[in-house]
Chain A
């Protein structure tokens, strides 16, 4: 049995072990404290159910049979979302053109639960449902991937046709666990390097779109003059605290990316950077929610300065 499997079993045992129960007084005090907070903060015009003084001097739950009013921002949000989607569609051709000129690769995150494959020189991971299977990619041979069909590999570059099987859309996973949406019938070329990084080097001809995330990929990169400038689609959800523009060097851990800029204004969707990175860098924009979690993330794009700046 491998060490990893041993660890997994230890964790499973640990997760199944009984836990000493919490102190009853702690449990009761916490609830009382929370409910007390609620009484202090509940709006006076709250509808639905609330605690009020009962006829015997105690407290009772009261029913206030009023419908939940439509919040004024609901309609606003809907209109805003519609407008943003329309803008995104109009900007796709500009984005594709700009990316092509600069050799920038726009990768698109996915929100589906598809068949995925990530490759290495000789080994790849095939994820399907909850299972994870290792498969072999032969550098000079074929790549057999469930749902992906055979791929030809030449000089480390595999060309494959995306296929849709049993409702699953094919998605490539790189070793940083990001998935890249591959529309059915589009041909993509992927490069597999020694670090097990899969790079999509031929973007799908049709614009891929986000399924869950409301952010779109960066829409343009202007490399004609310093500094680099790019923009992204305005976040239209409700869980917004700030944008974080992040950068990491190619081949390093994306989760350890450096925060290049923090933008608190949801309307500010452009950024210019004068301090150009020395090596090939990958950028993305993350939306941070008020509770510190990520509400969304844009696609990534790569800036290889040597091509345009030398």
Chain B
């Protein structure tokens, strides 16, 4: 005869959280509240947003180890500061992307010199092709992307943030505006000006050529 099931004290009742995709705002709000004291709830949020944050960081840095660094510091910071998080426009996702965006900005501030290095490296590849073999070896698409990212690095922080959030994070216009804490029309104006500034930066990089 099978032994009788042992009663499970309420303290040890398994708790199931919905994982996978993004839940409703209410569900996520409850999850965040639980995560303030419960690591299991935070783990659900982590799994929910890990790829999005990592992809954002990778698209911006184009380097796996940097993307991992940014992702690490974003989640570690979010975890440490969760008690201070207040639910507002955009919710937890906007807050998380704001942290990631700040981490990226900090990284590029600390690595100020490498901003121009990155542009120079990309330009060096493009300009140093002296033979047909060289030309064939160059991945023009990749170099163009690196040049584009280097030009973003040259922009004023607010413009770089607007472009990164809107185009490289997978966020909608409204979500990106929420992350930046500005109304949608202001976001439209900011993006419009950021794109113009980016065009100028690209032209400047190309005109100057490798140094």
* Residues of A near any B CB (own CB < 8 A): 3-4, 7-8, 10-12, 14-15, 17, 19-23, 26-27, 30-31, 33-35, 37-39, 42, 46-52, 54-55, 60-65, 68, 110-116, 118, 125, 127-132, 173, 175, 177, 179, 238-239, 253, 255-256, 290-294
Question: Can you report 20 A-B residue pairs in the complex whose CB atoms are below 8 A from each other?
Answer: A7-B202, A10-B148, A14-B167, A15-B59, A26-B68, A27-B50, A34-B76, A42-B37, A48-B36, A50-B39, A52-B12, A112-B183, A114-B183, A116-B189, A127-B186, A129-B188, A130-B188, A290-B81, A291-B81, A293-B181
Known: A7-B202, A22-B54, A130-B173. A34 touches B183 (CB 8 A): no
Instruction: Determine chain B's interface SS by DSSP, over half rule.
Output: helix
Is B99 touching A291 in the complex (CB atoms < 8 A)?
yes
Cβ of A47: which chain B residues have Cβ within 8 Å of it?
37
Q: Does B138 contact A (CB under 8 A)?
A: no
Cβ of B107: which chain A residues have Cβ within 8 Å of it?
none
> Which of A15, A64, A256, A294 meets B168, CB within 8 Å?
A15
Cβ of B102: which chain A residues have Cβ within 8 Å of it?
291-293
Distance in Å from the Cβ of A13 to the closest Cβ of chain B? Answer: 9
Distance in Å from the Cβ of A273 to the closest Cβ of chain B? Answer: 26
Cβ of A23: which chain B residues have Cβ within 8 Å of it?
64, 68
Q: In the bound complex, what is the Cα–Cα distance between A76 and B68 (angstroms)?
A: 41
Per-position 1/0 for B21-60, Cβ under 8 A of A: 0000000000001101111111100110011001100110
Is A238 touching B86 in the complex (CB atoms < 8 A)?
yes
Is B40 touching A49 in the complex (CB atoms < 8 A)?
yes
> Which of B98, B181, B188 meets A127, CB within 8 Å?
B188
Cβ of B203: which chain A residues have Cβ within 8 Å of it?
3
